[in-house]
């Protein structure tokens, strides 16, 4: 350090850089920069690092349940089973979460999706489990799941019917919330079918109030499909909200949904998440190993819920490897709770992408995502990450589980296979003003 220099923190350097940053297309190149350090209110660049990362208002939800300090993790029945569910599948899935060790990694919600109920309410207007597929009832199933130290999720709809034309909860919010609580449900996914054309801003708050009054703490997952931009209003209503329509098990669907969810990165945080770029398709067979690795990496970086959507009773070793990566899961569950975003585009039609976001401990997560059909070198530049070019960074590869650079400066490059994603933790060292 030169005599008389003043050591400054990495946070302060980020402030200096973020104030000056702007969305630009660099002259003479095909690289577009999307500044990482934008304010959460979408109103331009923040003048204060602490404003950028201020989480004091996150979690102050009218739902008042204290949940979702990190994105939810678990399993959901829909992506693989659809309507072909029964209590045996749910029990065996709970057992598999335990036996595989996935539960120990945080996958604790066992969420039943549509088709659990009978086609009509009973004579007292109550929802009834399908007697053929859930003969023991939901209460007994919840007791079984709780006996495994897991949590049970249930499904309903903010319409007169569910998407598979079972009774919905519109105009039955109080009775249904009380029923779910009496069964011991820990999670409610609340869908958007057969909604009579009523605005979701009118239909979703009544269930919030009903859950508040139920006497049980229940995670409230709003599945509104992004129709009326729930990121703008749902953090006062639920613990998470869908920002897109349904995912399917394909590269085209997954990448499209990632792009749609990226738009709302400023609005997520502890207590309320852009939860649903939808459930994970990892392991369902429609994408390659590399594509599933990208899927899991970007969902983790975006602080999306990690809700497994495959049959974990019969998953392959490759699927388990992806879903059980502790380092990637730690990115998703990082307590700072800032959603990562797309920050740099290059290559044909912007298919060489850098995604990133801040983590606790003065770190960054950086993903090099090759959405092109050919392998290529992708470079993350410090300017795009909000780092001073002279900052020295150590780099940990989260998929190779090794340090790949100890003192990287200015930029970092890697050869990335087609449709693959490499994921890293950048840990900057302190530098001094004399070095700038």
For 73-333, give the CATH class.
Answer: alpha beta
Q: Which residues does the annotation mark as catalytic?
A: 191, 246
Strand (E) positions, 54-127? 73-76, 109-111
- Output the average pLDDT for the chain: 87
DSSP state of 391: -
Q: Is residue 192 within 8 Å of 224, Cβ to Cβ?
A: yes
Same fold, 47-57+340-428 and 73-333: no
Q: Classify burial at 119, counting beta carbons within 10 Å of its beta carbon; exposed 0-12, middle 13-18, buried 19 or more.
A: exposed
Quick: pLDDT tens for 315-334.
999 999 999 999 999 999 99
The pTM assigned to this predicted structure is: 0.87
CATH 2.60.40.1180 assigned to domain 47-57+340-428? The reply is yes
- The secondary structure element, H or E, covering residue 355 is strand 352-359
Specify whether the backbone of 363 is left (phi greater than 0), alpha (psi in -120 to 50) or beta: beta
CA distance 364 to 380: 12
Q: Tell me the two tokens of residue 394.
A: 């150590």
Residue 433 has a pLDDT of 35
> Could you tell me how far CA 143 lies from the centroid of its own chain?
28
434: confidence class by pLDDT, cuts 50, 70, 90: very low
Largest CA distance in the chain: 84
Q: How far is Cα 266 from Cα 43, in angstroms, rounded to an integer? A: 10
> How many CB atoms are located within 10 Å of the residue 4 CB?
8
Contact yes or no for 384/33 (Cβ under 8 A): yes
Which of 402, 425, 404 is closest to 414 using CA atoms?
404
Q: What is the pLDDT of residue 276?
A: 64
Q: What is the tens place of the pLDDT at every residue in 232-278? A: 999 889 999 999 989 999 999 999 999 999 999 888 888 889 866 78
Strand (E) or helix (H) holding 385: helix 382-385
Higher pLDDT, 106 or 37: 106
The Cβ of residue 410 has, within 10 Å, a number of other Cβ atoms equal to 15
Beta strand pairing status for 73-76 and 306-308? parallel
**Rounded distance between C-alpha atoms, residue 36 and residue 224, angstroms:** 27
Q: Which helix (H) or strand (E) holds 189?
A: strand 187-191
Tokens coding 90: 């749910």
Q: What is the residue extent of each domain of the chain?
A: 47-57+340-428, 73-333
**Predicted local distance difference test score (pLDDT) of residue 23:** 33
Return the pLDDT at 43: 27
pLDDT above 90 for 63: no
Q: Closest by alpha carbon to 293, among 254, 333, 237?
A: 254
């Amino acid at each position: 350090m030169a005599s008389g220099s003043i050591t400054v923190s990495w946070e302060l350097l980020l402030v200096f850089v973020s104030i000056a940053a702007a969305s630009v297309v660099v002259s003479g190149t095909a690289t577009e920069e999307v500044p990482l350090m934008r304010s959460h209110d979408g109103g331009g660049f923040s003048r204060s690092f602490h404003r950028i990362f201020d989480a004091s208002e996150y979690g102050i939800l009218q739902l008042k349940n204290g949940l979702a300090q990190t994105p939810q993790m678990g399993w959901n029945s829909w992506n693989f089973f659809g309507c072909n569910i029964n209590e045996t599948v749910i029990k065996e899935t709970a057992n598999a979460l335990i036996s595989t060790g996935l539960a120990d990694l945080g996958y604790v919600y066992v969420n039943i999706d549509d088709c659990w109920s009978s086609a009509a309410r009973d004579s007292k207007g109550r929802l009834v489990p399908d007697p053929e597929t859930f003969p023991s009832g939901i209460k007994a199933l919840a007791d079984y799941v709780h006996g495994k130290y897991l949590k049970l999720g249930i499904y309903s709809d903010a319409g007169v019917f569910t998407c598979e034309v079972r009774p919905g909860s519109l105009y039955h919010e109080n009775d249904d919330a009380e029923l779910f609580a009496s069964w011991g449900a820990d999670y409610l996914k609340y869908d958007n079918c057969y909604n009579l054309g009523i605005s979701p801003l009118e239909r979703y708050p009544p269930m919030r109030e009903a859950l508040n009054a139920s006497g049980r703490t229940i995670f409230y997952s709003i599945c509104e499909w992004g129709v009326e931009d729930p990121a703008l209003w749902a953090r006062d209503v639920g613990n998470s909200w869908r920002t897109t329509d349904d995912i399917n098990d394909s590269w085209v669907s997954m990448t499209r949904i990632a792009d749609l969810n990226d738009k709302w990165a400023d609005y997520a945080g502890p207590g309320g998440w852009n939860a649903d770029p939808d459930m994970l398709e990892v392991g369902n067979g429609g994408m390659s190993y590399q594509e599933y690795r990208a899927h899991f990496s970007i969902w983790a970086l975006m602080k999306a819920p990690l809700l497994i959507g495959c049959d974990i009773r019969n998953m392959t070793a490759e699927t388990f490897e992806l879903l059980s990566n502790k380092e990637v899961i730690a990115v998703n569950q990082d307590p700072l709770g800032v959603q990562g975003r797309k920050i740099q585009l290059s290559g044909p039609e912007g298919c060489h992408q850098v995604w990133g976001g801040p983590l606790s401990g003065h770190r960054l997560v950086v993903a090099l995502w090759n959405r092109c059909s050919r392998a290529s070198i992708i470079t993350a530049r410090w300017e795009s990450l909000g780092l001073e070019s002279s900052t020295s960074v150590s780099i940990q590869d989260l998929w190779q589980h090794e340090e790949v650079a100890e003192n990287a400066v200015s930029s970092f490059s890697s050869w990335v296979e087609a449709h693959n994603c490499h994921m890293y933790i950048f840990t900057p060292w302190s530098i001094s003003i004399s070095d700038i």
